[in-house]
Amino acid sequence: MKKVSEDLSKFVSSAILSRKAYVPGFQPPSLKGLIKLNTNENPFPPSPTVSETVLNEITHLNLYPDPHSRDLRNLIANKHNLSCNQVIVGNGSDDLLNLCVRTFADSARPLGMLEPSYSLYPILSSLQGSRLEKVNFKDDQFLLPVDEVIASKVNLFFLTNPHAPSGRSFDQNEILRIANQINAILVIDEAYADFATYNSIPLLKQAKNIVITRTLSKSYSLAGARVGYALAHPEVIDLLDGVREVYNLDKMAQVAAHAALTDNIYFEACRQKVLAERDRANLFFSKLGWRTIESQANFIFTEPIDSKGNSSEEVAFALFEFLQNKNIHVRHFSNHRLTDSKIRISIGTSEHMDILYESINEWKR
């Protein structure tokens, strides 16, 4: 029998060999004694109706889920005053972003993104064999470079709004101008939109080339269930539907999402708690004199100043390490000049935020 070479790399796709793997925020094996403010999860558990619904559905796990997630699509369509053929659901919004890339990008059709932004976009581009064009922010105020985005020579452009990691929310008129003038599909990644004052859903009626992606991981406390959806023109949804896996959302995730989206009272109560804590965080960092962008998401992006009045990448990393040693996990992005002197802090419960503030005050002394 012919012996297979020990070097398996010759069998591997060139796109896989050249890619850099996505590095998620730290996920501890146990949450005991740990304050987790690094991956923008909701600090509150899902609605109690989610638990009840999931338990009732367990006996049906011998059956395949609805491949079209029709009940969930209908619910989402009604929620946003859209038709069902304007909705597609998936295994988290990352799944929908991937579908967009597979549908609208290839070696001859490049992708575009703001830089810095969500680090998954370059990986999706690499896997598809598509060139990636990055449009840089001018400075760390993270104002939308409208003209530069419009001028990009791409087939699809990713626009994260509210922006991550800054939390900045872009003007809807600027977004509409981009949609109307860019010769591309505009994918608006609205992972944090439920914490923002405005969203881009009204723009769907004004531009056929807009795709909006949403997730239930942040505002609906379903990060562990992996549920997302996209909203777009029916023709776009039909194209995405033809690319997705047949059973791309399991039965438990479908019913959990349906239950969470139905319990509006619980959702709004949790959302208001997050917004209140975000306001308190803004006030705390303002009193410290730290440069902090007015966030429209469920996190704060701030530039630490040490006891000597210094701010730098070294200062930000020092605070990151100090908090980590206290089992408080936040996020430090050292890979870009506009982010390396700052830290991102997910909004937690009031108790966890109090401990964070006490620890920061201790670090500053």
283-316 per-position pLDDT tens digit? 999 999 999 999 999 999 999 999 999 999 999 9
What pLDDT is recorded for position 6? Answer: 72
Do 32 and 80 fall into the same domain?
Answer: no
Task: Read off the pLDDT band of 30 (50, 70, 90).
Answer: low
In this prediction, residue 258 carries a pLDDT of 99
Element (H, E) at 185: strand 185-189
Contact 149, 157 (CB under 8 A): yes
Q: Are residues 112 and 208 in the same domain?
A: yes
Predicted pLDDT of residue 19: 73
Give 91's contacts (C-beta < 8 A, 6+ positions apart). Answer: 226, 227, 228, 248, 249, 253
- Domain end among 229, 264, 299: 264
**Residue 358 sits in which domain range?**
9-44+268-364
Q: Give yes or no: residues 211 and 181 share one domain.
A: yes
Compute the mean pLDDT over every residue in the chain, rounded to the nearest whole number.
96
Last residue of some domain: 264, 282, 309? Answer: 264
Q: Is there a contact between 208 and 185 (Cβ–Cβ < 8 Å)? A: no
- Whole-angstrom Cα distance, residue 301 to residue 303? 7
- Is 51 inside any structural domain? no
Residue 4 lies in a domain: no
Distances (CA, A) of 56 to 46, 60, 251, 256: 16, 8, 12, 11
What is the mean pLDDT of the segment spanning 311-333? 98
Amino acid at 213: T
Look at the chain and report how many structural domains it folds into: 2
The band of 351, judged by pLDDT with boundaries at 50, 70 and 90, is very high
For residue 365, the model assigns a pLDDT of 85
Residue 155 confidence (pLDDT): 98
Query: Taking the CA of residue 163 as centre, how many other CA atoms within 13 Å lie in the half-sphere pointing to its CB?
Result: 23
* 227-237: burial string, b at 16+ Cβ within 10 Å, e else: bbbbbbbeebb
Task: Give per-residue pLDDT as tens, 217-264.
Answer: 999 999 999 999 999 999 999 999 999 999 999 999 999 999 999 999
Question: How much is the CA Rg of the chain, to the nearest whole Å?
Answer: 21
Residue 26 has pLDDT above 80, yes or no: no
Within the chain, how many helices (H) and strands (E) appear?
A: 12, 13
C-beta separation of 179 from 200 below 8 A: no
Q: What is the DSSP letter of 281?
A: H
